[in-house]
Amino acid sequence: MLFYDQDHLLTSFLGHFPAFPNSFLVGGAADYFVIELTDQLQKLKVEPVLLHYLSRMTILQGWELRMSTSTRLKSCLYSFTSPGGPAYPTRTVRHAAWNTLDLLFPVGRYPRHVISLFFRLLYPWYWPSSCWNFVMTCVSTIYYYILNLLVSIWENMRRRDHQRMHRE
């Protein structure tokens, strides 16, 4: 519940816990929190809650984690980027997972996307939906660009007319 509603307090909350420098308990409170977070993410099946968690994970940027914890977080996020099993995430969850993965782990971003594209090309039954969504995204982008252009032209014309009326 702390991460869901009050993620801005998380850093100060975890700062109150001591670090464990011995060989048995390597890592600190952040490692344990991220381990529990990845466990919870893998159990979530409700899309709005999962999207909320993925959007709030930006607070983890810059945290020093053990290599095993970092790898665990990467694999958890990467499991939400593919359209098939075991999670079967929706398109919005996949895009949110990609965005979170790219934000938290910027090194290797482009090779990850190229490898994902290569493996996606191995499954031809995903091609039609991918092409359709790409075309629809392009069409909506062009539509909103033209709409924004028309609105800005209209606003400029109104502003000039308004200024001309006040000068006279």
Instruction: List, for residues 19-58, the tens digit of each pLDDT value.
Output: 666 545 566 778 888 888 899 998 988 889 899 889 888 8
Domains of the chain, residue spans? 2-122, 124-168
Distance (Å, rounded) from C-alpha 154 to C-alpha 76?
48
Which of the two residues, 158 and 139, has the higher pLDDT score? 139
Alpha helices, DSSP H, located in 26-126: 29-43, 47-56, 67-79, 91-104, 109-121
With CA atoms as reference, report the closest residue to 80 among 56, 103, 47.
47
Identify the pLDDT of residue 15: 67
What single DSSP character describes residue 100? H
Helix (H/G/I), strand (E/B), else coil: 27? strand
What single DSSP character describes residue 20? B
Q: How many helices (H) and strands (E) does the chain have?
A: 8, 0
Distance (Å, rounded) from C-alpha 164 to C-alpha 73?
60
Structure tokens at 15: 């700062």
Are the C-beta atoms of 104 and 60 separated by less than 8 Å?
yes
Question: Which pTM does this prediction carry?
Answer: 0.67
Instruction: List, for residues 150-167, the tens digit of each pLDDT value.
Output: 999 999 888 887 777 777
Distance (Å, rounded) from C-alpha 145 to C-alpha 140?
8
Are the C-beta atoms of 27 and 66 separated by less than 8 Å?
yes
